[in-house]
Amino acid sequence: MKRLFCLIGLSSCLAIPSVHAITQNFNFGGLGLALPDGDPSGLANLQDITSSITSIQDISVSLDISGTWNGDLYATIQHDSGFAILLNRVGRTAGNAFGFGDDGMQVTFNDSGGFSDVHTQTSGGGLLAGTFGSDGRAVDPDQVADTDIRTAGLDNLFGLDANGAWTLFVADLSGGDQHILNSWSLEITGTAGGVPVPDAGSTALMLTFVLVGLIHLRHTHRTSGAA
């Protein structure tokens, strides 16, 4: 898609490519990966994607994890220089060291839609499902609480080129319950390409059009005034 740059009084226009946003989805299913129980080394799942998006404007990350006691879980997403904390011991507070005991989750994280913070969400014991804001608390999982400031959200990935390696890290930090990473996915919105930087020849041509247009307008103004 292009915008036309035209000068009043001239029939010629310059075609300038415009930047437009697109959304692409990347799904990584059928994983069935068991998380080491009570082991902070966790599990890293790396996926390499090819995308036409060169500047991320918004992103959603979805997780499907089965198991018991969601309060055991810690999860992050990393791409290039961007890093976000999706889960950090959901439900853990100063008075609840173990977090919520819900059984598994099918959740989507998005920080641009005003969704509720996942750290405070519970199903009351069953599967946690829905769309929530990422945890974002860059705090030791053994010390984290709902009152901690959220500084590591998904907006840390904005502006990056979507192409390349994405790494989901998930760890079960407390023994006694088994979790399985079934699948995860990305929904990325951004611009395909950027505003083109004109070369010297294009710049000179544009300046010529501008100068000719100004001369034309000045001449027209004088002629009209003289009449």
- Domains for the chain: give ranges and CATH numbers: 21-191 (2.60.120.260)
Q: Residues of the chain whose pLDDT is less than 70? A: 1-19, 194-227
∠ CA 9-14-15, nearest 5°, is: 140
pLDDT of residue 197: 40
pLDDT of residue 68: 94
Going from the C-alpha of 214 to that of each of 203, 204, 205, 208, 218, the distances in angstroms are 17, 15, 14, 10, 6
pLDDT of residue 177: 87
pLDDT of residue 195: 45
pLDDT of residue 212: 46
pLDDT of residue 25: 98
pLDDT of residue 225: 55
pLDDT of residue 193: 75
pLDDT of residue 20: 82
pLDDT of residue 213: 52
pLDDT of residue 205: 44
